[in-house]
Amino acid sequence: MNEPLAVLHVALNPLTGPWSVIRHLSSAQMESGLYKGVGVGIIWDNNWPEAYQIELNHFNVPVYRRKTPALFGTASFCYQFLKRPGIERWISSFARTVSVNNIVIHFHTGWMSGVFLPLRSNHDLSLNVVSTFHGVASHFENQPLRRHVHKWMAQRLLKYGAKLTSVDGANPEIAEKLFSLPRDKFEIIPNGISSQPKIACPYLRGREEFLVGHVGLIIDGKGWRIVADAVLAARAKGRNVKFVMAGQGPDESDAKGLSLIHPGAVIYKGFVADPRSKLMPDLDLMAVMSDKEGMPMTIIEAMSIGLPVAATNVGGIPEAVVNGETGRIIERTAERLADVIIELYDNPDLLAKMSERSHEVFLQRFSVDRIVSLYDRLYRREWKTALSTA
């Protein structure tokens, strides 16, 4: 497909990683000169952070919005099927704005994107659909009714010819098991962001405090309590370590309470927009103690500024965190994380090597320029028009 092409990114309530991907990828694609235009369409409800709305106002690409009732995840997507959000109108407006007839609709809602299909446009437009899987919730295995509904969503992607991508190599296996999506239908394209100087780890530049961070949802599954316990254990052994966490979630009140109980050791910042520039440069170690993951954008953001990561061996994490080089892959326990914290606190030379290697691996695998190129090849391959029937 060598004809002029435009890309419209679409998502429902994108948070943390998917939101960061949309923000960085759309900007990089626009700057690449590969496309006649790049746009972003967001379906949102009152739970979507106001800070994201503000960021959206400053995007340098055409933006489309549709408000939807605040419902829990499965119900919210089923609502989109029953009450279509008007993506077709976005497509028509976008096509007029960028003066191009060949448009890629790039969904960032994984298998649930099936509820938006088929897309119907006028006959002058040729559409191609891509759906990126940022993670697959394996807990559906024990919830047969929800699993059936989500399998129905997923199968619609195959039915209407969507191209499937995954940010890591673990998602396709889970998607095949849960939703009968053949793993060989997936293209693996990791998350990526723009390159930054290696600016993390102030401990290496003379700061006495060693800061360990958690950035993401404040829920048990993300392991923030494990990080807190590990930092407190390291402090009990005489290390000048602090825990800084940022994010929102059901455990916010507990996080705030812990910061009040340990004011010199635990800092809770709440939601932080653009944590890579506003928080991560102050950290010396990022901790990702999740019980399940895809490819966490938090890890890639950390590596982009030379911040080592201690993480669990789940999902696509081992594809980014090279054990012993860019950080540590460890058991999901406070004791093991405390060992890593103490190890790096006591060995600045090791911390420096991990910081350097972390930045190198980012440049080799996760630079947004590389990701733009990978997506462009996918967009232009086997162009389909089956979704554009009126």
In a domain, 197, yes or no: no
Residues 40 and 114 both lie in one domain: yes
Q: Is the pLDDT of residue 390 over 50?
A: no
pLDDT confidence bin for 88, thresholds 50/70/90: very high
Provide the number of structural domains found in the chain. 2
**Which position has the higher pLDDT, 237 or 192?**
237
In a domain, 1, yes or no: no
Q: Which of 16-25, 262-271, 350-359 has the lowest mean pLDDT?
A: 16-25
Q: What CATH code is carried by the domain that includes residue 139?
A: 3.40.50.2000
pLDDT confidence bin for 244, thresholds 50/70/90: very high
Residues 340 and 252 both lie in one domain: yes
147-173 average pLDDT score: 95
Residues 165 and 262 both lie in one domain: no
pLDDT of residue 17: 81
230-237 average pLDDT score: 98
Q: Is the pLDDT of residue 122 over 90?
A: no
Residues 304 and 175 both lie in one domain: no
Q: Is the pLDDT of residue 387 over 80?
A: no
- Domain residues for 290? 202-365
Residues 167 and 242 both lie in one domain: no
**Which position has the higher pLDDT, 155 or 141?**
155
Residues 143 and 214 both lie in one domain: no
Q: Calculate what percentage of the chain has a pLDDT beyond 90.
A: 83
Over residues 307-351, the pLDDT tens digits come to 999 999 998 899 899 999 999 999 999 999 999 999 999 999 999
- pTM confidence score: 0.84
pLDDT of residue 389: 41
Q: Which of 176-185, 186-195, 375-384 has the lowest mean pLDDT?
A: 375-384
168-185 average pLDDT score: 93
Residues 187 and 294 both lie in one domain: no
Region of 161 (left: φ > 0; alpha: ψ -120 to 50; beta: rest) is left
Q: Is the pLDDT of residue 386 over 60?
A: no
